[in-house]
Amino acid sequence: MPLYLGFLACNESGNPVPQSPEFKVEAPWNLGTEVPYEERNPFSKDKIELGRMLFYDPILSADNSISCGSCHLQSKAFSDGTALTKIGVSGNPLLRHSPSLINLAWMEGLFWDGGAKDLESLAFGPITHPDEMGLSLKEMEERLNAHAEYPDLFKKAFDVNEVRRVEVARALAQFQRTLISADSKYDQWKRKENGAVLDPLEKKGLGLYEKYCSSCHSTDLFTDNSYHNNGLNDDFSDKSHEFIFLGRFRISFDSSDMGAFKTPTLRNIMLTAPYMHDGRFSTIDEVLDHYSEGIKGSPYLDEKLQKDGKPIKFKFSPEDRKSLIAFLNSLTDQKFTTDPSISDPFAE
Ligand code: HEC
Ligand code: HEC
């Protein structure tokens, strides 16, 4: 659960001046002590709370049927349990799988291909997309301005006399930066808290993870914030939907990014099936089958997954699999999935 600390800055003579109502949101040290934020959008408790309401309010969809929280469910670490969801207002399946939303404040690129650079600029994507929430920003503003509570809440949080799209995006971004997960058994063991220990199987899994996985799923964020082709496909001829199937190449037009997608975090991974950008694997076993025997070779396959020009087969033994899965289970953070401060306020 994020901690809010009133924070002091210094004036020109070096004396601390209170910055209230601005807040720093504190994070556990293994993520980095302070939660990063955009300079144009400093934290405050009111903005975070407003963002939380907006995140869970179906008012942001054309037919008032779905909210951000409909595809990003807290109980599933803010993923949705579906490969390609059809719950958007058009009923058409989306072209990509809904990712979990975890420790986003530290993510350098957002979306599977890094197509959004920060949470502020991302928000209008799902709101206006015809297959997601399908609402124009103009109508969004009109609705929120006509609402019984929102104008006052925006006034309180941002000191504005009318609801504007820019503050909608800022509030949503702030709330999402408080989606901090760092209280799994692994974290407690790492921080030497509550006498937590990893048992021998989990430790063995940690060793295998460090050997085979941590070069990409790195640091305690369990992502290197970068893009790799991990051998899911070897055919990149489908250029439809503005190159959406080509991964990061769609953004960079650099051939080394062909079929490369953002390394997803492994935190809460046992709660976020199905897996990969298209949700093609329904279980963690299928993911391990992929790394064990199924990596596909292509000129774009990441070097770390090749040996002598051929795709690596990790060939995990049954014992390896058991221990890897035990380790991945130690990354489940039940506090995160039940924390009332980030839950649906309308369900209370
Ligand atoms: C209909 C389902 C749906 C709804 C509603 C929805 N999302 Fe998403 N969300 C997705 C999908 C699918 C992706 C992946 C898109 C991609 O990468 O191309 C995604 C990606 C994201 C990401 C990127 C995460 C990352 O790790 O890169 C964020 C942040 C996000 N959504 C926030 C929101 C917010 C905020 C709202 C509400 C304004 C919202 N979503 C509404 C399905 C949805
Ligand atoms: C070369 C970098 C790299 C290595 C090494 C690597 N991964 Fe990945 N992993 C990725 C990328 C990139 C994706 C996303 C691919 C996609 O969706 O197209 C991914 C996806 C995953 C997913 C699905 C996550 C989700 O939310 O859908 C899991 C689980 C996973 N990897 C586990 C592992 C394990 C376990 C290992 C070690 C045995 C490993 N990875 C090694 C880069 C890597």
Q: Which tokens hold the place of 271?
A: 């709660």
Instruction: Judge whether residue 21 has pLDDT over 80.
Output: no
Give residue 338 CA to ligand 2 midpoint distance, Å: 26
User: What would the pLDDT profile of 167-193 be if each residue is shown by its tens digit?
Assistant: 999 999 999 999 999 999 999 999 999
Task: Give the model's pLDDT for residue 26.
Answer: 86
d(CA 268, CA 270): 5
pLDDT greater than 50 at residue 96:
yes
Assess whether pLDDT exceeds 70 at residue 297.
yes
Question: How far apart, in whole angstroms, are the C-alpha atoms of residue 110 and residue 117?
Answer: 6
| Distance, CA of 187 to CA of 85 (rounded, Å) | 32
Residues 107/94, Cβ–Cβ less than 8 Å: no
Q: Which residue has the tokens 């490969």?
A: 83
Please give the number of the atom of ligand 2 that sits closest to the Cα of 274. Answer: 27
Tell how far the Cα of 217 is from the centroid of ligand 2, in angstroms. 7
* Lining residues, ligand 2, CB within 6 Å: 212-213, 215-217, 228, 230, 232, 261, 263-264, 266, 269, 272, 275-277, 287, 291, 302, 304-305, 314, 324
Residue 77 CA from chain centroid, whole number = 9
Structure tokens at 79: 């993923």
Q: Is pLDDT of 305 > 80? A: yes
| pLDDT mean over 105-117 | 96
pLDDT at position 63 over 70: yes
87 lines ligand 1 (CB under 6 A): yes
Region for 315 from its dihedrals, namely left if φ exceeds 0, alpha if ψ lies in -120 to 50, beta otherwise: left
- What percentage of the chain reaches a pLDDT higher than 90? 90
pLDDT in tens, 121-145: 999 999 999 999 999 999 999 999 9
Residue nearest to atom 3 of ligand 2 (CA): 216
Ligand 1 in reach of 72 Cβ (< 6 A): yes
* Rounded CA separation 260/229 (Å): 4
Q: What is the C-alpha to C-alpha distance for residues 293 and 291, in angstroms, rounded to an integer?
A: 6
- Give every CB contact of residue 214 below 8 A, 6+ residues apart in sequence: none
When pLDDT is cut at 50, 70 and 90, the band that residue 292 belongs to is very high
**Which has the closest alpha carbon to 267: 13, 30, 34?**
30
Q: How confident is the model at residue 24 (pLDDT cuts 50, 70, 90)?
A: confident
